[in-house]
Amino acid sequence: MLLIPAIDLKDGACVRLRQGRMEDDTVFSDNPVEMAGKWVAAGGRRLHLVDLNGAFAGEPVNGEVIRAIAKAYPDVPIQVGGGIRDEATIQAYLDAGVTWCIIGTQAVKDPDFVARACKAFPGHVMVGLDAKDGMVAVEGWAEVSDMPAVDLAKKFEDAGVSAIVYTDISRDGMLEGPATGLYRSMLARLPGLELIASGGVSGMEDVEALAEMDVFGIIIGKAIYEGKLDVQTAIEMYQIESEI
């Protein structure tokens, strides 16, 4: 299992939101490149970057910071989400050194785009399912659709996506524990899925619970920024040595 430190970018700074609300943010660093280095030094073998402004704008906004992080740590695979709506954006990120692009809103609006992207960029595309009460949210989590997240994930079962990043919005940034029930449902419906769980991890007990569920990876955010979870200890205890 991979433990993946998150770096959420808003106006060029590293922040954490509560339940995805842009107006309810805490700034943890005005130097995201330096923050990335902290997590790499702690043993992180992958980074999760989110362009929060881009998710609302529908196009990259913090692309310069993302490129700087990829340049500073070329040996660390990076997955990026937020504002990725076309193939040109994917190509630009891959050219900058990003390994995976996460398609969120566009996966809901145009599921066929995911298949096209997987064909154009094999092995470099993930789908981000951000859900509230099990229903997919789009446009930077500002709008909740009538599409169950599990049903949408099923559409991409044979598309060639590298993984599904599933975020429970109601738990994100709240330190109230992960949505284990939702993850179990997803894994049961899609047994061959590489699922990356996101949202709610508050400490080592949550990491242990998710490890027992056989998820592929866990995105860890607020817990490591607020010192609730020691990322180096968690990585040493739970991160398996596997090809990523």
Q: What is the pLDDT of residues 105-163, one digit of tens each?
A: 899 889 999 999 999 999 999 999 888 777 887 765 566 767 788 888 888 988 999 99
Query: What pLDDT score does 73 carry?
Result: 98
pTM for the structure as a whole: 0.91
Average pLDDT in the chain:
89
Centroid of chain to Cα 83: 13
Is residue 102 pLDDT above 70, yes or no?
yes
135 DSSP β-pair partners:
132, 148
Question: Which two three-digit tokens encode residue 192?
Answer: 């061959």
Do the strands 125-132 and 135-138 form a parallel or antiparallel pair, or are they unpaired?
Answer: antiparallel
Q: What DSSP designation does 112 have?
A: H
234: exposed, middle or buried (Cβ count in 10 Å: 0-12, 13-18, 19+): buried
Name the token pair of 209. Answer: 């619970």
Q: d(Cα 196, Cα 57) in Å, to the nearest integer?
A: 25
Token pair 């809901």: residue: 108
Q: Known catalytic residue: 158?
A: no
pLDDT exceeding 90 applies to what percent of the chain? 61
Token output for 74: 């070329």
Those residues whose C-beta lies under 8 Å from the C-beta of residue 229, and which sit 6 or more positions away, are: 201, 202, 203, 204, 207, 220, 223
pLDDT confidence of 180, banded at 50, 70, 90? confident
Is 8 annotated in the active site? yes
Lowest-confidence region among 37-41, 155-159, 237-241: 237-241
